Amino acid sequence: MALNVSRVDVWAASIEDKPGGLAGKLSALAKAGAQLEFLVARRAPDKPGTGVVFLTPLKGAALVRAAKKEGFEKTDSLHSIRIEAPDEPGLCARISQAMAEAGINLRGLSAAAVGDRCVAYLAVDAAPDAAKAMKILKKL
């Protein structure tokens, strides 16, 4: 099975841990024309009263300006890979096992399936690990 593998820039921003904290950030991006493919938001347990949102992609200068105005920054410490493929049992197990065998420590892995397709986002700490992971994933 061929995996469609690509590097992606992930953007992050702090949010207030209160009703509407996330909605305000996302509304500003929607008004600027954002068409997001991935988003995860959660509380920041080490910073009570705050949360964090990670998302991708932000395409175009106007959208990037709007995101920066809302406090989003491109994450330099998070190197992410988008994987799209036909959904099949055990795919994430195969991906994570291949990374383990290559000595690549995963910072994160998020995945979802809709119908017969799936998409996963794999994150590592360093650019060389991301490059190595891309080569491995293209061979799976």
Tell which of 74, 102, 127 closes a domain.
Answer: 74
Q: Where are the alpha helices (DSSP H) in the chain?
A: 21-31, 61-69, 91-101, 127-139
Residue 11 has phi, psi (to 5 degrees) of -110, 145
Give the model confidence (pLDDT) of 65-108 as tens digits: 999 999 999 999 999 999 999 999 999 999 999 999 999 999 99
Give the model confidence (pLDDT) of 96-130 as tens digits: 999 999 999 999 999 999 999 999 999 999 999 99
Q: Do both 88 and 63 map to the same domain?
A: no
User: Does residue 123 form part of some domain?
Assistant: yes
Residues 56 and 36 sit within 8 Å (Cβ to Cβ)? yes
Q: What residue type is 92 in one-letter code?
A: C
Query: Residue 1 — pLDDT band, cuts 50, 70, 90?
Result: low
Tell which of 74, 94, 117 closes a domain.
Answer: 74
- pLDDT of amino acid 116: 95
Q: What residue type is 87 in one-letter code?
A: D
Domain coverage including residue 109:
77-139
Q: Please report, for the domain that includes residue 39, its CATH number.
A: 3.30.70.260
1 or 71, higher pLDDT: 71
